[in-house]
Structure 1
Amino acid sequence: MKIHLERKNKAVHFEGSSELSPIKVQIDGSDAIGGEGKGVRPMELVLMALGSCSVFDLSTILKKQRQDVQDIQVEVAGERRDEVPNIFTKIHISFTLKGDIDIEKAQKAAELAVKKYCSVHDMLAAGGVDITYSLKFN
């Protein structure tokens, strides 16, 4: 897998692309380093990667379990240490599921999705990040 970052201005706005997809992602830095609010920040992308990886796997497992999932929402919150580099120390993933869903099956599916199948989780956890998750049902 390979990505490309193209500089879009004389500050820190870049456009990311991948050889696997035609979709472009706008990435920008904080105001402190010249960012202009033209894209997401790199550490936000890390949280998005973890949330999307987990929810893709959760969705797939719930579908295989024949659960009637009408909607899934995901929130990911991360805490970073104060020293440089400001890496994540704790991350919490909150899944909100809507539909006719067996709670026990959903809990098992979330455990598998986050802890077994999500490669982003494994990379972050190997680096010492404490990753937790919770489920809410509507």
Structure 2
Amino acid sequence: MDPEKKSVAKAEAHIARTHYQTIASSGKHAIIIDEPEDLNGGDTGMNPFELLLSSLGSCTVITLRMYIERKMWIVDEIHIELEAFAVPNGYLVESKVTFTGNLTAEQTERLLQITEACPIHKLLSGNVIIKTKVNNA
């Protein structure tokens, strides 16, 4: 193994003949990913874009919750809405975060900065290299 590489996660995806239903798994967890009916899927799960946005959203609110707990601020709920758009140079992701609790304007501004500390945010906005090989069965 390359000493420069540090594994942070492993996952697998499997598709058989059911139009485009895919089982994604990591460790002891599994979810169904599918395409909507208008793309000839069965609509039995989130599509890949929705799954990606859900990963970013969940990572963001978890990161925020960890920070809020360390600071001992009073926040009952954190809600995030995300939407991806195709734009001429690629994609744009817009998110809106809502806090339910007692926060000052300064605390809210700090939490906005913390949203960019989420590891998935860093992965998506950083330098990503994807290498694919064929694994002969």
Band of TM-score, shorter chain? 0.7 to 0.9
Show structure 1 runs of 5+ residues with no match: 128-138
Runs of 4+ in structure 1 deviating by more than 3 angstroms, as ranges, are 30-33
Contact 1:62 1:69 in 2 (8 A): yes
Paired residue total: 119
CA-atom RMSD in angstroms: 2.2
Aligned to 1:133: none
- Can you give the 5+ residue segments of structure 2 that lack an aligned partner in the other structure? 1-8, 128-137
Residue of 4, 14, 26 corresponding to 1:18: 26
How far off is 1:82 after superposition? 6.8
Which of the pair has the greater relative contact order for Cα pairs under 8 Å at 6+ separation? 1
The amino acid of 2:105's aligned partner reads I
TM-score, length basis structure 1: 0.74
- What is the TM-score with the length of structure 2 in the denominator? 0.74
Instruction: Return 49-58 or 118-127, whichever deviates more.
Output: 118-127
Distance 1:119 1:49 in 2: 10
The CA distance in 2 between the partners of 1:10 and 1:93, in whole Å, is 33
Specify the alignment match of 2:118 in structure 1. 118
Letter in 2 for 1:124: L
Identity over aligned residues, as a percent?
Answer: 22
Q: Quick one: structure 1 residues 64 and 35, their matched pair in 2 at CA, closer, same or farther if it must change by over 3 Å?
A: same
Which of 1 and 2 has greater Rg? 2
For 1:66, the equivalent position in structure 2 comes to: 72
How far did 1:33 drift? Answer: 4.3
